[in-house]
Amino acid sequence: MKKTFCFLILLPMLSVAQPADTLKVYEPSTNFSDKLSSLYRHKHFCTYVVPTSLIGAGLAMAGKSPESGKNELKEARDKFFPAFHSHIDDQLQFAPIAVAYGLDALGLHSKTDFLNKSIILMKSELAMTAIVTGLKYTVRETRPDKSAKNSFPSGHTAQAFVAATFLDQEYGQRYPWLSCVGYVLASSVGAMRVLNNKHYMSDVLAGAGIGYLSVKLAYATHQYRFQHKRKKAIKF
């Protein structure tokens, strides 16, 4: 899923980058596929550009002016789901973490051993909490329901994407469908924050980017001092 997303974004640039040569007869070449493979292996694009773009989009949509774009989805919510109210997002934001540890307990081993992945998760949570809290008390955005001035970014969404990205890191390479499950759950949390009238779309986008990026940075900087990363996992 992530590779397809990168491919769709980068396809126009690759097409422009192909040199035109009218003197040669067209022959099938592996250059294009080689470049695609190189892009797939270049993880920095999806790892850093995508979440940074989400945060940037959230910041761009934030603001008090009607033209900021954040009010459009709220107006649709007020029109079609004015009475929507649910607390399930309070529990759902942690679900992918429970799945990751539950699978490990059942014998479907994760990529990283228990101690190291727990330390990584703790660092991810600390980074996410620091960023979200700092922005909440700096931006001081009023919530859609006027209940408080700490709307931007969405802490629930950030937590949900920390959980989903953690699940993806530990099981996504061998079981891509688990990554899909995690990100669907995280996206559902973001949608419910809007439906509950607690956040604008801008808050949710920024929260998703912060959660994703916090985990990626934690994995990228972690020193495996206690045990080596697991090389094998049980397949089914």
Average pLDDT (35-57) is 71
pLDDT of residue 177 exceeding 90: yes
Question: How many folded domains does the chain comprise?
Answer: 1
Residue 135, domain member (yes or no):
yes
Give the per-residue pLDDT at 234: 40
Number of CB atoms found within 10 A of residue 97's CB: 19
Average pLDDT (165-191) is 97
Residue 227, domain member (yes or no):
no
Percent of all residues in the chain with a pLDDT value above 70, rounded to a whole number: 73
Which among 48, 40, 42, 41 is positioned nearest to 5, based on CA atoms?
A: 40
Euclidean distance between CA atoms 226 and 216, whole angstroms: 20
Q: What is the pTM of this model?
A: 0.77
pLDDT of residue 2 exceeding 70: no
Residue 233, domain member (yes or no):
no
pLDDT of residue 171 exceeding 90: yes
Task: For Cα atoms 227, 160, 78, give the angle at the middle one, nearest 5 degrees.
Answer: 175
Give the per-residue pLDDT at 24: 43
Residue 87, domain member (yes or no):
yes
Euclidean distance between CA atoms 190 and 5, whole angstroms: 20
Average pLDDT (143-163) is 97
Query: Which residues span the domain enclosing 109?
Result: 43-62+69-221
Q: Among 42-56, 67-81, 193-207, whose mean pLDDT is lowest?
A: 42-56
Number of CB atoms found within 10 A of residue 159's CB: 26
Residue 168, domain member (yes or no):
yes
Tens-digit pLDDT profile for residues 88-98: 999 999 999 99
Q: Among 15-29, 37-51, 183-197, whose mean pLDDT is lowest?
A: 15-29
Please state, in angstroms and as integers, the Cα–Cα distance from residue 188 to each residue in 52, 91, 99, 184, following that order: 21, 12, 16, 6
Residue 134, domain member (yes or no):
yes
